[in-house]
Structure formats: structure tokens, C-alpha cells
Amino acid sequence: MKMIVGLGNPGRKYLDTRHNIGFVVLDWLEKQFAPPGGARRTKFEAEQLEVNVNGQRVLLIWPQTFMNLSGAAVQPARDFFKIADEDILIVCDDFSLPLGKLRFRAKGSSGGQKGLADVMKRLGTQTVSRLRIGIGAPHEHVDPADFVLSRFRSDEKDAVDKLVQRASEAAAEWVRSGVEACMNRWNADESGLGK
């Protein structure tokens, strides 16, 4: 079994904010791969759904702990289902990447993403695949914390819809082909939104 974790904050207050792009990508995967009648269940402080992606069992996880404590939902699920660290993908926002850019990494630091940092701390490893999704950068004099909790502008909507679809396709490819293949394909795409 593999696990894909979308990072975000629970509750209507945070719905569709830039910080919640990981949740939105998992919502898309749910629409594509959920079994008929399949419904999320709540376990280990997360919403969970098991899906089948090209013959592989995949556990989708939406932590309900708030971003900075995401590891509290991921670590017990990993241990309960006996999932290897290399079979986990974390999907999260990154304001250091242009809107629309995708970047896979197989290991390394959190790059300042506090949810990812908490996951790695609780898992006890930096060797966990991650898909960073570019949400654009805050303007000068805008607090990054305020920026990531803001919603996308109306003129960004088409770009964001395209981004979510591409990120979902990339996550599904990770299930099939692994992180190295995804790094070669998706990281090399400098076009961002496929202009």
C-alpha cells in the first residue's frame, strides 16, 4: 500500500486558501479514483479514503490537525498500515515556486514548510517523497503567513484549476512510476502552467 497525504487546514475558514492546495489535489484524486459508494472515514486525526490507482492500493489522507501538526495524523497511519517511508508522498504548497510550478523531491529539508517539517519530524526521516506546488509569491510588504492563508484571486482561477489537474496527474504517476521518474518529467517542465 502507498499513502498520499495532502496538507492543509480543516474547516470552512480555510477552504480554498493557498495553503490548502494539498487538500484540493486529494479531492481531485478522490473524484478520479474513489470506488463506487466509497466514503471517507475519520481515523488518527485525519480523513482517510482507500482508492485503487492502476491496480495499486493507495491511502489518501487529509490531516485534520491543522497544518503545523500534520505529522500527528501521518505517523500513526503509517505505523498502523505498515507503510514504508518511501511509499509516502506529501503534497503541499510552496510560495517560493511560481504559480503552477510542480517540484518533486525524494528527500531533504522541509524548505520552511511547517506541515512538511512536522511530518518528517514525527516520521523520524527526511527521506519521504514530496510534491511541492507553486502557489506564487507574496508581494513585497505582505506577510507570508497572511499570503498563504489568502484565497486565490479570481484572475488566477483558470490557472489554479489547470494546476490542480496537473498536480493530481503527477501524484497518480508517482504511484505508478516512483519519485525519480516524476522528478525527471515534472521538475523539468519550466512552463509552469503549460503556456
Which residues belong to the active site? 19
Q: Can you tell me the distance from the alpha carbon of 16 to that of 114, in angstroms, rounded to the nearest whole number?
A: 19
Q: If DSSP states are collapsed to H, E and C, what string results for the chain?
A: CEEEEECCCCCHHHCCEHHHHHHHHHHHHHHHHCCCCCCCEEECCEEEEEEEECCEEEEEEEECCCHHHCHHHHHHHHHHHCCCHHHEEEEEEECCCCCCCEEEECCCCCCCCHHHHHHHHHHCCCCCEEEEEECCCCCCCCCHHHHHCCECCHHHHHHHHHHHHHHHHHHHHHHHHCHHHHHHHHCCCCCCCCC
